[in-house]
Amino acid sequence: MPSENGLSRREELLAVATKLFAARGYHGTRMDDVADVVGLNKATVYHYYASKSLILYDIYQRAAQRTLAAVHDDPKLSAREALYQYTVRLLDQIAANPEGAAVYFQEQPYITEWFTEEQVEEVREKETQVYEHVHGLIDRGITSGEFYECDSHVLALGYIGMTLGAYRWLRPSGRRTAKEIAAEFSTALLRGLIRDETVRVESPLGVRTEIGTAGHNSR
Amino acid sequence: MPSENGLSRREELLAVATKLFAARGYHGTRMDDVADVVGLNKATVYHYYASKSLILYDIYQRAAQRTLAAVHDDPKLSAREALYQYTVRLLDQIAANPEGAAVYFQEQPYITEWFTEEQVEEVREKETQVYEHVHGLIDRGITSGEFYECDSHVLALGYIGMTLGAYRWLRPSGRRTAKEIAAEFSTALLRGLIRDETVRVESPLGVRTEIGTAGHNSR
């Protein structure tokens, strides 16, 4: 049953809850608030989601799916190309869904209070996949000699903080596009990792780079 | 009136509230919970803090003071040295007070609900100082020719996300010390920014580097 703006009622409900959770926190939002804003009675809300925590879990699953969609290691790509592609895909997703990303991160410290053990385990498993992707790419670059030796564990955590943390300020309508920001982040990190001086200066994002960065790639 | 472990009652109360807020969220913690854990009656708690939001504000002011203590640009230092020193000081502070940092970041999206306008303004002002410090150091390096051209605004936001975001996993008892992690982060970023090939390879953290990083500085 699509509503006026073409979203199904359930999708509309989810979008409203995501906005409210992002602004007030999960704990600070009641099912009544969601029902009020979406213009449904509470019984109808409970028809779609039997509990508030199931809404949060749906938000979590979708955010995790979007993040995992960014995680795809193509062995044909060099480590630097693969890291750059991951960054582009991830920031694109965050720019398109900043509120979903915000709810994910803001509620993360408390999910054991709201989710079942199985749900928490599923969440953690997906987070591990993201960490292992970035960690694995840095290790691949070290092993092949493409990158300097470094603590790939610490740098993976740092780079994930840098990229996923962009949900705090990255907006679709911002001064710079998600792709431009991805190029800035990747260029800085990869110039720091790449050993080969020519590659480092001329093509830190790999030969398959589709976009240019603002005039500093060719310096 | 120092209690058994030498902390004043007020400090003890603040430490307990910080732990509870970090674990359950500000919204999910009642003054009764704080009073219970610290072993005081509620009237005594209110003697020290007239409201729950004043506890949160105290946590905020202390966390901001610690972060600002890391922000000190010494014009005698090169931009790379100053960025590295900032990172060391910041990660030291986070490792020493992970729960204070957690409360700060976890509650950040909602502070307009709990704080007065003046309090919010003071918080924002201090955050701007941190951003401007990092932004200014990158700009200083670009202007002097020490660093490549880059979008210093985007990189400052990214680097702040990388360093401050470490509160999620940085612990005093971790496998790597805060100084080692600061050296990893700074080395990766600075190797990415520094133009001069010899400096980049041999002393990315500057001549005043006090500590070595795990064997990859000299490669």
pLDDT computed for residue A216 by the predictor = 40
pLDDT computed for residue A16 by the predictor = 97
The CATH class of B1-50 is mainly alpha
Q: Does domain B57-202 correspond to CATH entry 3.40.50.2300?
A: no
A61-202 maps to which CATH number? 1.10.357.10
Say yes or no: do domains A1-50 and A61-202 share a fold. no
**Mean pLDDT taken over chain B:** 89
User: CA B122, CA B116: separation in Å to the nearest integer?
Assistant: 10
DSSP structure class, residue A166: G
pLDDT computed for residue A207 by the predictor = 58
Contact (CB<8Å) B27/A27: yes
Q: Which two tokens stand for residue A210?
A: 């589709």
DSSP structure class, residue B8: B
pLDDT digits (tens, 9 = 90+) for B89-115: 999 999 999 999 999 999 999 999 999
Crossing angle for the helix pair B117-143 and B152-164, to the nearest 10 degrees = 120
User: Which residues from B are below 8 Å from A191, CB to CB?
Assistant: 148, 191-193
Nearest-Cα residue of chain A relative to residue B111: A24
Q: Which two tokens stand for residue A114?
A: 């709201």
C-alpha A73: how far from chain center: 16
What is the distance in angstroms between the Cα of B83 and the nearest Cα belonging to chain A?
14
B218: pLDDT strictly greater than 60: no
B139: pLDDT strictly greater than 50: yes
ipTM of the complex: 0.84
Contact (CB<8Å) A150/B216: yes
Contact (CB<8Å) A188/B187: no
Using an 8 Å CB-CB cutoff, list residues of chain B that contact chain A: 22-25, 27-28, 102, 106, 109-110, 113, 148-151, 154-155, 157-159, 161-163, 165-166, 168-169, 176, 180-181, 184-185, 187-193, 195, 197, 214-216, 219
Closest CA to B193 of B184, B204, B202: B204
User: Which residues from B are below 8 Å from A185, CB to CB?
Assistant: 154-155, 158
Contact (CB<8Å) A28/B27: yes
User: CA B120, CA A125: separation in Å to the nearest integer?
Assistant: 37
Q: Is A219 exposed, middle or buried (0-12, 13-18, 19+ CB in 10 A)?
A: exposed
Residue of B84, B112, B151 to mutate, testing the A interface (most A Cβ within 10 Å of its Cβ): B151
pLDDT computed for residue B5 by the predictor = 56
User: CA B103, CA B209: separation in Å to the nearest integer?
Assistant: 32
pLDDT digits (tens, 9 = 90+) for B149-195: 999 999 999 999 999 999 999 888 888 999 999 999 998 888 888 88
Vertex A161: Cα angle to A155 and A164 (nearest 5): 130
Q: Which two tokens stand for residue A46?
A: 């409970």
pLDDT computed for residue A73 by the predictor = 75
Q: Which two tokens stand for residue A64?
A: 């995790």
B198: pLDDT strictly greater than 80: yes
User: Which residues from A are below 8 Å from B106, CB to CB?
Assistant: 106, 109
Contact (CB<8Å) A216/B109: no
Nearest-Cα residue of chain B relative to residue A201: B195
DSSP A95-145: HH-HHHHHHHHHHGGGHHHHS-HHHHHHHHHHHHHHHHHHHHHHHHHHHHT
Crossing angle for the helix pair A152-164 and A178-193, to the nearest 10 degrees = 160
Q: Collapsing DSSP states into helix, strand and coil, what is residue B170? A: coil
What pLDDT band is residue B67 in, cutting at 50, 70 and 90?
very high
For chain B, what are the domain ranges?
Answer: 1-50, 57-202
Nearest to B25 among A27, A181, A187 (CB): A27
Task: Give percent of chain B with pLDDT exceeding 90.
Answer: 74
pLDDT computed for residue B207 by the predictor = 58
Contact (CB<8Å) A165/B165: yes
pLDDT computed for residue B209 by the predictor = 45
Using an 8 Å CB-CB cutoff, list residues of chain A that contact chain B: 22-25, 27-28, 102, 106, 109-110, 113, 148-151, 154-155, 157-159, 161-163, 165-166, 168-169, 176, 180-181, 184-185, 187-193, 195, 197, 214-216, 219
pLDDT digits (tens, 9 = 90+) for A91-150: 999 999 999 999 999 999 999 999 999 999 999 999 999 999 999 999 999 999 999 899
Identify the segments of chain A with pLDDT beneath 50: 208-219
